[in-house]
Amino acid sequence: MHLHVQSCGCRFYIEGSLLTKKKRFFSQSTNMAAARRLKRVVASQPGFVSLKSSHTSDTVSTRRKRVNKNKKKNWNKHSDINDVEGFLEDVRLQERTTGGLLSEKSDESLFFLDVGQPNKAEQKAPEPVEGKKRKGKQSRPLRIDLILQHDSLVSPPKDVLAYQQPNAKKLRRIAQKAEQLAAKGVVPRRQKRLQNTQPVVRTAKKAVTEANNNPDRGYYDLWGQETKESGNSWYLQQTGKKLVKRPEKLNEKPSVLPAVEVIAPGGSYNPDFFSHQALLQKAHEVEVKKQKEEDKIEKKLVVNKEDTATEETIFREQVEGLVEEENEEETAPNEEEEDQTGAIALAGKKTERQRKKEKAEKIKDQQRLAGRRQTEHRQQLFQLRSIKTSIKQQEQKTKAKQKLRKAKQEAQKAQPRRLGRLKFQPQDMEIQLSDELAGSLRQLKPEGSVLKDRFKSLQKRNLIEPRERAKFKRRHKLKYVEKRAFREIT
């Protein structure tokens, strides 16, 4: 009988035979020496895996470090989590390959009964089809496609935002309330209004189609006609399908002026003498008006000679606080006189007879005024003709004022309005003097700018507000520095 024991990559054969004690001692010593030699050789090889755990070998080979694990910074540094990571990696592998943990799976899904290979039934050879070649093997997918296929059985995470609805809680509450009202038999107000509205009776008309080549058929203007509203007006208004009525003010033009103003006949390249002189007179009036406005501003800015300081006024200002005593002496008797008049007024109190007399006089004055008014009303009966004429005159005056007001309003329509902080400044007249006129179009020199003319026209017609060119303001001052190359030359 032989007993086989395997330890550290070597085998010891112990035969069950009767040996003497002396022979057994020598044989054991020689075997132990050979075993130690074999251990050293096997341990030096790269593919050797010892039966002992790595932890025990580490504790023998290396000395254990003493670490204070009360501090948080030493937890991750000196704590061994290989067993936890290995367990989690094993769980992930099971989920990828089987779709869950093996411990939770049933036996039928993990094991099967092997009964051997089934007998393959004899398959009939398919008859060849005309025009098609017979393939020897079935087409298989390419390896690159197989690599790109999703082989994990873990379901992708759900997109929470895809299932969310705005105001979902509010809509759910409204739906629950509507269900409760419907269970009680209560009809909402909007639905009740729709039920009370009279349905529109529509009579279907057969559409008569005309030929496209018929010259007498009606012309359909795509942009001119408005869409006709069909249905109840209240229903269209509540559902938001009714067209908003366009305000009439939007149809009015902001100015009566034409888009392109034709220049006066005197502005032609070869104008008539009188028309050219009339245009020159108009330009002269404009310049005279500008000159008058400038002179008016200069007159207001001129300093008046009476307001200029002289030696006498300067001396008065210097000595003004030194003459206050004389003025105080003059004002003292005035105050005494005021006190005396006040005392007389307090002493002269009216008696009861005086008050009765004043009351009677006041009543008489009121009666006299009332009688005078009555006489005036009686006299007006005889003045009806003069009153009628005065009323007519007043009506004529009001009509004349209304006409002037309307004329002024019409004139203002042709004038530019104040749309912004700046006032409209008309463009300078483009005019040529008599000696600058050209005899032909070849010798004519272009003047003005078309772009500026259109811009001023938009301002004049109240389409845009008057503007001025933005002033460039430098944020930082320029700093002049001489370059080294320039400094070396100079």
pLDDT tens-digit readout, 213-232:
777 776 666 676 555 555 56
Instruction: Give the whole-angstrom CA distance, residue 414 versus residue 422.
Output: 18
Confidence (pLDDT) at 4: 38
Q: Given pLDDT bands bounded at 50, 70 and 90, which one contains residue 26?
A: very low
Q: Please, are residues 461 and 259 in contact by the beta-carbon 8 Å criterion?
A: yes
In angstroms, the CA 2 to CA 16 distance is 7
Are the C-beta atoms of residues 69 and 78 closer than 8 Å to each other? yes
**DSSP result, 421-432:** SSPP-PPPP---
Q: In this predicted structure, which of 68-72, 219-223, 475-479 has the lowest mean pLDDT?
A: 219-223
| Backbone angles phi and psi of 140, in degrees to 5 | -105, 155
Query: pLDDT confidence of 23, banded at 50, 70, 90?
Result: very low
d(CA 466, CA 417): 10
Is the per-residue pLDDT at 252 higher than 60? yes
pLDDT in tens, 44-53: 544 444 444 4
Q: Is residue 210 pLDDT above 80, yes or no? A: no
Confidence of residue 386 (pLDDT cuts 50, 70, 90): confident
Cα(316)–Cα(325) distance, rounded to whole angstroms?
A: 16
CA end-to-end span of the chain:
115
pLDDT above 60: residue 185: yes
State mean pLDDT over 277-304.
92
Question: CA torsion, points 425, 426, 432, 433, in degrees to nearest 10?
Answer: -70
Q: How far apart are CA 161 and CA 149, in angstroms?
A: 27
Q: What angle do CA 440, 442, 446 make, to 5 degrees?
A: 100
Please report, for residues 191, 252, 464, 470, 480, the alpha-carbon distance to residue 451 in angstroms, rounded to integers and kept in the order given: 60, 26, 15, 18, 38
Q: Which residues pair with 14 in a beta bridge?
A: 3
- Tokens for 309? 């300081």
Q: How does residue 71 score in pLDDT terms, banded at 50, 70 and 90?
A: confident
Q: pTM of this prediction? A: 0.39
Burial 274-308 (b: 16+ CB within 10 A, else e): eebeebbeebeeeeeeeeeeeeeeeeeeeeeeeee
- Mean pLDDT over all residues of the chain? 77
- Which of the residue ranges 7-16, 87-96, 336-345, 437-446 has the most confident prediction, judged by mean pLDDT? 87-96
